Structure formats: structure tokens, C-alpha cells
Amino acid sequence: MDKLHLDAALTPEGWRTDLTLTVDAPGLIAAIDAGPAPAGAARLRGAVLPGLPNLHSHAFQRGMAGLTEVAGRSDDSFWTWRDWMYRFALALEPEDVEALAALAYVEMLEAGFTSVGEFHYLHHDRDGRPYADPAELARRCIAAAGDTGLGITILPVFYAHAGFGGLPPGEGQRRFICDLDLFGRIAEGAQAAAAASPRAGFGIAPHSLRAVTVDQLQALTASYPQGPVHIHVAEQVREVEDCLAAHGRRPVAFLADTVALDPRWCLIHATHADEGERAAMVSAGVVAGLCPVTEANLGDGLFAGVDFRRSGGRFGVGTDSNVAISATGELAMLEYSQRLATRHRTALADRGGSTGRALLETSLAGGAQALGLGPAGIRVGAPADLVVLDTDHIAFAGRKGDALVDSWIFGPSTGAIREVHVSGRRVVDGGRHIGRSSIEARARKVLQRILAS
Ligand code: ZN
């Protein structure tokens, strides 16, 4: 058993000082004791926050960050961005996927995320044929997470069609496409790889209502009755219009009529859910998977987050396209987008409470639920996933308690994370991941090669 002594920590009971965590062999917090550091305990100096789950990532897209910002001849949209993404995806070999995932995961850890939901849809070889091991690329993502120390919930994606009504897939989608049989083999391999890794879990991800028929959706949920289920649901207005045209209902309403929504569901980009759909999400206890930076980058639109939170809705955040990997960036963008929409400040805070703390605690609970992680936070039974803020950083001068969280999220806090621990193991030290140099060098070679061609 390892002992970690924390000067100050945000726990479910609020801020506490002088705590010693006893961490067991799998990395769970076995006991929390108050008082001075016992002999032999490692000291975590600063203010300790729980590590955040990043509930939605497409790791390979990290390699495209900043490359899709040149204006096209026609109106740029999600759909023109997606054409670019397809071309990039078609260039990647398995070792490239692993190298880019490792880079993304290092950056997630340095940003204060300690686990990720990898919404994994790049399955097959460049010509569209399955690899000898159909789960090859899922294993690469799990390996990258294992190398970096990041917890991962691998979510193999079922993707069968190009649009509503079972449209045949396009040539650019050839690396994603499965029938239910092939998906079963990918899922089996991914599940086995996850079971062999100490911080990996498994769930499924029907890609979207565009890409999956009703029959397929029902077959999938029947075949996988446990674990997280994620779906892209209403990111684009066109998607809502197409769903209305095909099924006579909006996407979330249609989904709720098609499958039994329950707390294992995470609806990614419920951006255009209307009031009735949001009420259905709240009563089913699903998590809204919000990806504020990517949704802004893609010009998706705004989720009605204030109404949703006031009515008891659960949400978490994801870095999605990984265009800028930052926990504070996602939380600040989420809050600011709601302020712009409602013309109020402290939009997602509880009355009289800190906005930063509300954002942190809500997305911790929502993210942990969405990734099937069990108890989260600095409490007995949860993994020792810890983010240590450097309270000597100028962003925190004169601050304590919740003001530290607000100053971290909204203030000039670049470089404010001193250490990150996952399952009690330190993976970020002095603000830098312990394996960054070699992981960065490997990713640099991949990007130089791919972008040169
Ligand atoms: Zn996505």
C-alpha cells in the first residue's frame, strides 16, 4: 500500500487539508486519514483536484489540428471538414494510429484528464479490408493509453451506412464500415484487450442515426446489454432535418422510441435536442456528451445547457476532434457559450456557488457515468486519479478553496498543473508527461511523413 499526503484537496465533502490517501495495489483509494503526513508518505504539494474523464475522443484526429482552417470556395461546414478528415484517416497505418493516439493521450494527461472514452471508428486497413486481427486498431488505442497511463474506455463504433434510410456507404468511409458479424469480432477483440489492461473498459458506439438502421440499433443493444453505449445524436441541423424526413421525429425523440434509454447511454452532441427531447434525456438519466471546443470549431450550434442543468440533466465534456486538448478550455468554452446564449454570467453555477467547481463536479460525475467508471473523485473506493495544481503559480496568488478552481479554469493558468497521478502512479511531473519526449518524437515523424505526401 502506498501513502500519498495531500496539503489540500477537493473531496465530495468539500475542501479538506492535510489528508493521507492509502492507495491499494490496483490503484484505488483504500483509506483517507486526516492529520500530518505519516513517515514514508509521498507529499503532493499544492491543491489537489480529482482527475477528469474526457468522455469523447477520436484520437487520430489530433494529427489534423489546425489543418482545416483554410476557407473553401463554398460555405465551409461540418460536412466539408468531414471530407478532409476522411482523406487524413485513409493515410494512416496501424503504428501511425498508435503514435498519434499516444500524443493525444499525453496531452490529455498534461491537461488534467485521467481517462478517455475513445469513440473508435477507424477499423480496417487502408483498402477497406479488415486486418488479420479485426480489432488491430482498437488494440493500438488501448496500447497507447496503457503506455501513457491514461485510463481508457474503448468504444468500438458500429458504422454501416452513409445516411438515413440505410444509404450505401461511400468510398471514403471504407475503413469504418462493418456488418454486425464483423463488428462482433472487432468488439470481441477490443473487449479482450481491455480486460487484459488494468485501466481499460469497454462499451459500444452505434455511430449515429445516420449510420445505423433501427434493426441494427436494436440488435446491438440486445447483444451488449451491459456497459456504456455512446452515439452521435444531433450535432447538425441537417441531421435533424434528415431524421424528421426519414422517421417523422427528431433524433433524440426517435432514439427514445427505438431503444430503452437508460443511464448507460451517452448522447454525444445532443446539440439540437429540443425541450421535449431534453426532458426525455433527464428522465432517462442519460449523460449529454458535450464537446464545446470542437462544436465551436465545427460551427455546430449551441446546446441549451442552462435549462438542461436546471432540470437535473447530467453532462460531461469531451475533446472530440482533439483540435486543442484542454480540460480548462472545454469547461470555459462550455460556460462562455452559455453566457453568450443567455446573456447572463455564472450560467452553469448553483446559486451562490463557484462556477468552476460546479463545472468540475458535474463533468466529473457525468463523465464517470458515461465511461462506466464507478465511483469517482477523491473518495474511498475510487481510483487515485489526482491533478495537483501548483499553488505557487501566479494564477493562484492569494487564492484558496473554490477560487483556485475558478482561477484554474477562467484565469491565466497555463502551466498551472504540477503533477498528475493515475491509479496513484505519477505520470505528469513538473507539468510534463514522463514519456513526452519519445512519444512526441514518434508522432512528429508520422506527421512529417503523412503531410509530405
Ligand atoms: Zn465525435
Last residue of a domain, one of 323, 350, 371: 371
pLDDT at 172 over 90: no
User: Parallel, antiparallel, or unpaired: how do β-strands 2-11 and 42-50 relate?
Assistant: parallel
Assess whether 103 and 42 both reside in one domain: no
pLDDT at 191 over 90: yes
The model carries a pTM of 0.97
207 occurs within a structural domain: yes
445 occurs within a structural domain: no
Residue 118: count other Cβ atoms within 10 Å of its Cβ.
31
446 occurs within a structural domain: no
Assess whether 148 and 263 both reside in one domain: yes
Q: How many residues does the chain have?
A: 453
- How far is the centre of ligand 1, averaged over its atoms, from the C-alpha of 94 (Å)? 20
452 occurs within a structural domain: no
Assess whether 361 and 222 both reside in one domain: yes
28 occurs within a structural domain: yes
Please give the backbone phi and psi of residue 134, each rounded to the nearest 5 degrees, phi first: -60, -20
- How far is the centre of ligand 1, averaged over its atoms, from the C-alpha of 268 (Å)? 7
pLDDT number for residue 168: 87
pLDDT number for residue 80: 78
For 135, the domain range is 52-371
pLDDT number for residue 73: 72
- How far is the centre of ligand 1, averaged over its atoms, from the C-alpha of 208 (Å)? 10
Q: How much of the chain, in percent, has pLDDT values that exceed 90?
A: 90
Taking only the tens place, the pLDDT of each residue in 407-446 is 999 999 999 999 999 999 999 999 999 999 999 999 999 9
- How far is the centre of ligand 1, averaged over its atoms, from the C-alpha of 297 (Å)? 13
268 occurs within a structural domain: yes
Assess whether 305 and 414 both reside in one domain: no
Assess whether 360 and 384 both reside in one domain: no
Strand-by-strand arrangement of the 314-317 sheet: 229-232, 265-268, 287-290, 314-317
pLDDT number for residue 51: 98
| Residue 170 banded pLDDT, cuts 50, 70, 90 | confident
Active-site choice (120, 161, 272, 320)? 320
pLDDT number for residue 176: 92
Assess whether 215 and 81 both reside in one domain: yes
Taking only the tens place, the pLDDT of each residue in 226-255 is 999 999 998 889 999 999 999 999 999 999
Confirm if 383 and 151 have CB atoms less than 8 A apart.
yes
Taking only the tens place, the pLDDT of each residue in 11-31 is 999 999 999 999 999 999 999
- How far is the centre of ligand 1, averaged over its atoms, from the C-alpha of 115 (Å)? 16
451 occurs within a structural domain: no
Residue 434: count other Cβ atoms within 10 Å of its Cβ.
17
Residue 143: count other Cβ atoms within 10 Å of its Cβ.
18
Q: Read off the C-alpha cell for 372.
A: 462506466
- How far is the centre of ligand 1, averaged over its atoms, from the C-alpha of 273 (Å)? 16
444 occurs within a structural domain: no
pLDDT at 214 over 90: yes
Taking only the tens place, the pLDDT of each residue in 129-140 is 999 999 999 999
Assess whether 276 and 404 both reside in one domain: no
320 included as an active-site residue: yes
| Residue 72 banded pLDDT, cuts 50, 70, 90 | confident
Closest C-alpha among 190, 196, 108 to residue 385:
108
Total number of domains in the chain: 2
pLDDT number for residue 111: 98
Q: Which helix (H) or strand (E) holds 433?
A: strand 432-433
Assess whether 37 and 170 both reside in one domain: no
Active-site choice (161, 230, 269, 433)? 269
Taking only the tens place, the pLDDT of each residue in 382-412 is 999 999 999 999 999 999 999 999 999 999 9
pLDDT at 453 over 80: no
CATH for 35? 2.30.40.10
Cell 432535418: give the residue.
241
Confirm if 385 and 367 have CB atoms less than 8 A apart.
no
Last residue of a domain, one of 371, 401, 428: 371
Q: Read off the C-alpha cell for 260.
A: 430503452
CATH for 251? 3.20.20.140
Assess whether 167 and 215 both reside in one domain: yes
List residues, by chain if needed, whose CB lies under 5 Å from ion ligand 1: 320
- How far is the centre of ligand 1, averaged over its atoms, from the C-alpha of 316 (Å)? 14
The residue that leads in pLDDT, 223 or 170, is 223
Assess whether 42 and 58 both reside in one domain: no
Last residue of a domain, one of 371, 401, 422: 371
269 included as an active-site residue: yes
pLDDT number for residue 82: 85
Using DSSP, state whether 273 is helix, strand or coil: coil
Confirm if 417 and 325 have CB atoms less than 8 A apart.
no
Assess whether 241 and 295 both reside in one domain: yes
Confirm if 52 and 376 have CB atoms less than 8 A apart.
no
Taking only the tens place, the pLDDT of each residue in 265-309 is 999 999 999 999 999 999 999 999 999 999 999 999 999 999 999
Assess whether 35 and 78 both reside in one domain: no
Across 28-32, 33-37, 88-92, least confident range: 88-92
Confirm if 297 and 32 have CB atoms less than 8 A apart.
no
The rounded distance, in Å, linking the Cα atoms of 379 and 353 is 22
